[in-house]
């Protein structure tokens, strides 16, 4: 992956693509919201599946991966970067903004964070659960979220080791996936949580199994739609929204070594996908 001269990007037209990336395929859940809200915007998605899950890696390792992917996307002339990964946002968003926040370099960098605030507002009994990766739950960003928005509620957290890997393999309805979800949801339910945050972008793809496990009285919250709306707002503020009325091109890039990588991406995208190998 190579870098591009940053000062040249400001003269490019507004129909440049939006770059979106995740530790793997989970960020496709966010990409769907972006595509639904901004159907004429070209999208370029990078799945860093070879290094997934990020939750088990150090902040330094995650930051290095984010820099490499960001350089790749910037070299493709993207007009915005969406870090569609809670763990990557927690580890690297400040470093990414510091690196690319240069004069004349007008690219917004949008991150993710577990929806503690809306969950606290939605909860009726004041007990919320958070399903996330180890990396997200250990991050300073998550601690700050709890300090800011979790003071008046009880927050029960659960690291979901192995669940990302099931989704990376496309095992959305497999028995093993269901068993993991049942195992991880039980402590939250035992504590009485009436609202559960899906704190990883992979988890919306197994939402039906989570709903089956927790029941209809428990509210599930993720932030994909909110991120798409914020992206739209930032693009509008910077006059970066496309004027094209053409059907958008959505391209996927992956470094996955799995033979069925394209099949899994198409499965999660819910239609045939153009997938390029990195």
- pLDDT tens digits, one per residue of 38-71: 999 999 999 999 999 998 899 999 999 999 999 9
Contact between 268 and 28 under an 8 Å Cβ cutoff? The reply is yes
Distances (CA, A) of 206 to 168, 180, 201, 269: 11, 11, 10, 14
β-pairing verdict for 195-198 and 219-221: parallel
State the first-to-last Cα distance of the chain, in angstroms, to the nearest integer.
9
Q: Are 189 and 158 in contact (CB under 8 A)?
A: no
Mean pLDDT of the chain: 93
Residue 251 pairs in a beta bridge with: 44, 274
Residue 115 to residue 205: CA distance in whole angstroms? 17
Average pLDDT (7-30) is 81
Mapping DSSP to helix (H, G, I), strand (E, B) and coil, where does residue 155 land? strand
Residue 75 pLDDT exceeds 50: yes
Residue-level pLDDT at 11: 45
**In sequence order, which ranges of 169-260 are alpha helices (DSSP H)?**
175-190, 207-214, 224-237
Across residues 14-36, what is the average pLDDT? 97
| Residue 232: predicted pLDDT | 98
Q: In what order do the strands lie in the sheet with 18-22?
A: 109-110, 80-83, 18-22, 43-47, 250-254, 274-277
pLDDT beyond 70 at 12: no
Q: In this model, does residue 1 exceed pLDDT 60? A: no
The whole-number pLDDT of residue 3 equals 43
At residue 172, the pLDDT reads 98
Average pLDDT estimate for 79-93:
97
| Tens-place pLDDT, residues 97-151 | 999 877 777 799 999 999 999 999 999 999 999 999 999 999 999 999 999 999 8
Q: What is the pLDDT of residue 74?
A: 95
Distance CA 52, CA 168 (A): 8
- The set of catalytic residues is 85, 200
If one compares 252 and 7, the residue with the highest pLDDT of the two is 252
CB 79 within 8 A of CB 12: yes
């Amino acid at each position: 992956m190579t870098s591009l001269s940053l000062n040249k990007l400001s003269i490019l037209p507004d129909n440049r693509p939006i770059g979106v990336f995740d530790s793997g395929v989970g960020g496709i859940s966010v990409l769907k919201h972006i595509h639904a809200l901004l159907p004429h915007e070209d999208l370029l998605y990078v799945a860093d599946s070879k290094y997934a899950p990020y939750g088990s890696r150090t902040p330094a390792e995650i930051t290095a991966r984010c820099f490499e992917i960001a350089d790749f996307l910037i070299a493709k002339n993207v007009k915005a970067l969406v870090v569609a990964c809670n763990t990557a946002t927690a580890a690297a968003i400040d470093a990414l903004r510091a690196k690319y926040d240069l004069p004349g370099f007008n690219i917004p960098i949008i991150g993710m964070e577990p929806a503690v605030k809306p969950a606290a507002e939605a909860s009726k009994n004041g007990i919320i659960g958070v399903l996330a990766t180890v990396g997200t739950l250990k991050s300073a960003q998550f601690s700050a979220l709890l300090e800011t928005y979790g003071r008046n509620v009880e927050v029960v957290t659960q690291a979901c080791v192995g669940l990302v890997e099931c989704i990376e393999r496309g095992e959305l309805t497999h028995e093993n996936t269901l068993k993991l979800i049942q195992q991880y949801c039980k402590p939250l339910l035992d504590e009485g949580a009436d609202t559960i945050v899906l704190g990883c972008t992979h988890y919306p793809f197994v939402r039906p199994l989570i709903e089956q496990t927790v029941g209809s009285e428990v509210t599930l919250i993720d932030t994909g739609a909110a991120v798409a709306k914020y992206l739209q707002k930032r693009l509008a503020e910077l006059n970066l929204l496309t004027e094209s009325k053409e059907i958008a091109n959505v391209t996927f890039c992956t470094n996955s070594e799995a033979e069925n990588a394209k099949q899994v991406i198409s499965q999660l995208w819910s239609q045939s996908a153009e997938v390029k190998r990195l």
